[in-house]
């Protein structure tokens, strides 16, 4: 599946952070627990694999992105934080 070149799910560095931006430090652990690869999670959630890589590396995400990932993983968004 082709992904957009500009990844809109991760906060751009050109604007200041908003208070509702979200870190998901437990994303990788939860993904491993449900035995999904990054590509499988990308396909299941509709979030680009490149975004998942960035989030697992510590970047902040839009709350809507966190909700998509949580739904695909079968957990609550808070479980990823």
- Give pLDDT tens digits for 22-75: 899 999 999 999 999 999 999 999 999 999 999 999 999 999 999 999 999 999
pLDDT of residue 20: 80
Reported confidence tier of residue 5, pLDDT bands at 50, 70, 90: very low
Reported confidence tier of residue 10, pLDDT bands at 50, 70, 90: low
Evaluate if pTM is beyond 0.85: no
Exposure string for 36-72, b = 16+ CB within 10 A, e = fewer: bebeebbebbebbbbbbebbbeebbbbeebbbbbbeb
Q: Which residue has better confidence, 64 or 16? A: 64
Report d(CA 12, CA 1) in Å as an integer.
Answer: 23
pLDDT of residue 1: 45
Q: Which residue has better confidence, 5 or 51? A: 51
Structural domains in the chain, sorted by start:
27-74 (1.10.260)
Phi-psi region of 55 (alpha: psi -120 to 50; beta: other; left: phi over 0): alpha
């Amino acid at each position: 599946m082709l992904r957009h070149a500009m990844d809109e799910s991760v906060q751009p560095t050109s604007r200041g952070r908003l208070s509702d931006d979200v870190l998901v430090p437990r994303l990788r652990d939860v993904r491993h627990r449900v035995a999904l690869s990054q590509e499988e999670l990308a396909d299941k959630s509709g979030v680009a694999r490149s975004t998942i890589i960035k989030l697992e590396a510590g970047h902040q995400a839009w709350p809507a992105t966190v909700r998509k990932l949580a739904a695909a993983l079968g957990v609550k968004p808070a479980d990823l934080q």
